Amino acid sequence: MGQEGSHSEEMDLAQIQELCIIFLKECPSGALHLHEFKKIFGVQSTSAEESLFLETIFSSFDTNQDKTLDFLEYVAALNLILRGNIEDRLKWSFKMYDKDGNGKLDRQEVKRIIRILYKIKLQTSDIEMSPSQICDRLFEVVDQNDDGQISLSEFMEGAQKDEWVMDLLKLDVNASGWVIQNCGKFP
């Protein structure tokens, strides 16, 4: 398992400034809406899985739940995506899985994200398991007290026990590559 802190495509100050300029051009009001967020990340409306995934990401960064990202939420999101350590990324992933916000993951919440990931990236990987089988394996490895729910501590410990689980739980869909690739799309 490689170290998370060093990204091969580290952003420099000029790229960060460019992202700030993009934000200001796209959101002169200072509020980034979901459709603008999707546009910045180059997600077409025809890609239902990527669209749903970005909606989940957007919601996780909308800390005040006002259906917009202000500049501080935007910067915090970019910082996590581009420079966050593994612990911070796992906590963020847990938040994305935890749709009802109760601090525990049930099978329905986990299957929801697994289905999205399956359509985006797992279907084309070496994994020969269905989303339900992936969810079952995840619960076998991570749900230490067998209560049918995964706590944040179980989530964090489970990810560190098994590389396959880590790859699945940290929700890495090359977000930093995605940001860097789309950084220069807007004049």
Domains for the chain: give ranges and CATH numbers: 13-84+174-182 (1.10.238.10), 86-169 (1.10.238.10)
- The pTM for the full model equals 0.69
Please write down the HEC assignment for all residues of the chain: CCCCCCCCCCCCHHHHHHHHHHHHHHCCCCEECHHHHHHHCCCCCCCHHHHHHHHHHHHHHCCCCCCCEEHHHHHHHHHHHHHCCHHHHHHHHHHHHCCCCCCEECHHHHHHHHHHHHHHHHCCCCCCCCHHHHHHHHHHHHCCCCCCCEEHHHHHHHHHHCHHHHHHHCCCCCHHHHHHHHCCCCC
pLDDT tens readout for residues 111-158: 888 888 777 765 556 667 888 898 998 899 899 999 999 999 999 998
